[in-house]
Chains A and B, each alone.
Chain A
């Protein structure tokens, strides 16, 4: 009987640890959401700057549709997965320098679509929503 409680108890701990981890994630996601401050307009191009280090930030970006995008991938002493950058839907892959700025020109996207960037093995990602 006692052992049963120990098992249930540790099962509960395990599951709640995973849930806490997921909760921390959604919390930082909201904090990372960007609608304007990281997006500048230059000569009819929206410039989006993303920091790649231990993941990407911001991770949720809303941008305007039908306007070309210039992605500026910023790295600052980045040696983790996020330095191997891919945009699967565009077939784009690039190993970012450990420190520097890499620009990627993305053609205008349609309303309601989104663009997903991931790191080499897909463990980190970010999403740009066009509306």
Chain B
């Protein structure tokens, strides 16, 4: 019976812990593999005849595709700190450009009185570049970055976008058919928006993960839930439903499109307006989500996650403050 201690870098969360334990635990001779997320130590016990050096070489090949790195010696964390140093200015620049685009007035044009599906498409494009980017884009960025850390296929992202476009079309059709019967109360929408912004801030801090503070306090993902997450890779439902649910995400453009769909009278027209609007938001949101996925698999992954963390926290704070102002709790601090 021997016992070995390894140092692992590149881990983000409790799912990584379970994944590493699963992979190493299955190796020949290994009877027990325990990973300590706080210390980033992997303790392996079993009847192992190979030398630690051979094990590192062999197991690195197994962990490499997941962006984990196995070492015998403790690695200095300068690399991670350096990526934070780059991420802060990068995140600030992205936020600054976003504000500048809003303030420039380039995006404040009106549209023809009669709303055609083609206009709805254009409004969708603009929505995905302006105020909606702060809410929907921020949420898509944080979820995609999080998903990219957990699973290894783009399937959930594809399903998310499919769900969003199909969901918008069908729900738009329903709105067109029932007409002015339903109206979603704005206070409910604002509270939904504040909840969304809080989720964004938490996910953002999680992505930023300086000094692994959140890692230590992170709620341990139960194994059953982890198995469920693994199923998401092959699964269909969860990402699709989240995509459909973005219909109810508060964003001024979506709300006024819903109003247009409500008042247009026929379900076909309602479906066309909402569907085209969702299609219009697709290019930007696809860029965000598939871009995250791609970056997560390069050597720039730590930098990307941390920059995304800063941008998401910025957008989260922005919509949180705006939401509080809309409820009359605080004075409006800014006008986008």
Query: Residues of A with Cβ closer than 8 Å to B?
Result: 3, 7, 9-11, 13-18, 20-22, 24-25, 28, 53-55, 59, 76-84, 86, 88-89, 93, 95, 98-99, 116, 118-125, 127
Report the stretch among B141-149, B237-245, B323-331 that lies at the interface.
B323-331
Q: Could you say which residues of chain B place their CB within 8 Å of the CB of A95?
A: 183, 255-256, 259
Q: Taking the complex as formed, is B96 at the interface, i.e. its CB lies under 8 A from any CB of chain A?
A: yes
Asked whether A17 and B123 contact (CB < 8 A) given A7-B85, A93-B187, A123-B322, the answer is no
Say yes or no for B283: interface residue by CB 8 A criterion: no
B165 CB → nearest A CB, Å: 19
With CB as the reference atom, state the residue of chain B lying closest to A54.
B108
Complex contact A18–B327 (CB within 8 A)? no
Among the 9-residue stretches B20-28, B39-47, B110-118, the one with 4 or more Cβ atoms under 8 Å from chain A is: B110-118
Decide if B190 touches A21 in the complex (CB within 8 Å): no
Question: How many inter-chain residue pairs (CB < 8 Å) link A and B?
Answer: 177
Query: 27 A-B contacts, Cβ less than 8 Å apart?
Result: A13-B89, A13-B93, A14-B92, A14-B93, A17-B92, A17-B97, A22-B334, A28-B103, A54-B105, A78-B256, A80-B130, A80-B253, A81-B131, A83-B259, A84-B186, A84-B255, A93-B186, A98-B115, A98-B256, A120-B252, A120-B255, A121-B252, A121-B319, A121-B326, A124-B335, A125-B332, A125-B335
Q: Beyond A21-B102, A119-B252, A121-B252: 14 further Cβ-contacts under 8 Å?
A: A11-B92, A13-B92, A24-B100, A24-B104, A25-B334, A78-B110, A81-B251, A83-B255, A93-B186, A98-B113, A99-B113, A119-B326, A121-B189, A121-B251
Bound-state Cα–Cα, A11 to B88, Å: 7
CB distance from A83 to the nearest CB of B (A): 4
Most buried by B among A10, A93, A119: A119
Contacts of A93 in B (CB 8 A): 185-187
Check A15–B253 contact: CB distance below 8 A.
no
Contact partner of B324 among A15, A17, A122, CB < 8 A? Answer: A122
B: residues with CB less than 8 A from A are 82, 85-86, 88-97, 99-100, 102-105, 107-113, 115, 123, 126-127, 130-131, 134-135, 183, 185-187, 189-190, 193, 250-253, 255-257, 259-260, 318-319, 321-328, 331-332, 334-336
B178 CB to nearest chain A CB (Å) = 16
Partner of A7, one of B89, B97, B123: B89
Report yes or no: A17 in contact with B90, Cβ–Cβ below 8 A.
no
Which residue in chain A gives the minimum CB-CB distance to B88? A11
| Residues of A contacting B187 in the complex (Cβ-Cβ under 8 angstroms) | 93
Q: Which 6 A-B pairs rank lowest in CB-CB distance, beginning with the nearest? A: A81-B252, A88-B328, A17-B96, A54-B108, A14-B92, A122-B326
